[in-house]
Copies of this chain bind each other. A is one copy, B any other.
Amino acid sequence: MLECRLADRFGDFLDLTPDERAAVERLTDRDLRLRRGATLIRENDRAAEFYVLSRGTMISYVLLDNGSRQIIRFLFPGDIVGMAGFAYQQSPETIAALTECEVAPIDRPLIGALIDQHPRLGALLTALTQVERVVCTDRLAAVGRTSAKARVAALLLEIRDRMRQCDSGIGDTFSPGVTQEEIGDATGLTAVHVNRMLRQLEDDALIAREGGRFTLLEPAKLARVSSYVDRYSGLDLNWLPRPR
């Protein structure tokens, strides 16, 4: 799995000035290694820190008292994790590692100082949060109003696009590295039904599978049947304030 740091991610959206880049790089000074399955932040933990995921795959989720789990978001290198606690004393969600991971902690006050000295980066933070919000609404619409098959298809496309964001070498064949149970917990389905939907997508010749590898045989058709939109492209941040 490729590495991707925060300045790289920010650089995907804005041309950072040397000053800005240096300030972003000063946010993190150490790396934490996580084992597969490890929990980084637990729901209702004190929310005093964020992290940047630099290597590996994580998920954020909530557990309901009926025992089921809703996966909110899959996290890939370059993502800020724990930002949901930005406004709260306690984290509203749990963050766990799906694979071995590396994360770099950022103290909350350091983010405050960054926003203060580089308001443009504060605006970028708002914009990236909005993107996350829109992605969340897309999944809400999928879970609320589309068929099981469409939800699974949309999730595959989303994972593909997100993995490509930090590894441009990824094409229509990729290894999501998530179990069918995780796909189910993200799409509001059971693992059993996810399995059947994957089989149907395969029978429809929309995808192919071997081992853990997926191939999107007809990405355009897949996007059509699932109403999928890539929210990480088509951004417009030119109107943000000038860099300091």
Contacts and interface: CB of A to CB of B under 8 A. Distances in A.
Given A112-B239, A115-B123, A116-B242, A143 B93 contact: no
Interface in A127-165: 127-134, 136-141, 143-146
A168 interface: no
Majority-rule SS of A interface residues: helix
Residue from A47, A126, A131 having most chain B Cβ neighbours under 10 A: A126
A2 B143 CA distance: 34
A6 interface: no
A123 B130 contact: no
A201 interface: no
Given A88-B234, A143-B188, A227-B65, A115 B122 contact: yes
Interface residues of A, number: 62
A231 B87 CA distance: 10
A86 to B, nearest CB: 5
Contacts of A113: 241
12 contacts: A47-B236, A66-B146, A70-B140, A72-B141, A86-B130, A87-B236, A88-B134, A93-B134, A109-B239, A112-B123, A115-B122, A116-B242
B227 A137 contact: no
A227 B70 CA distance: 13
Contacts of A143: 140, 143-144, 188
Nearest to A227: B64
B64 A112 contact: no
B239 A145 contact: no
Nearest to A116: B241
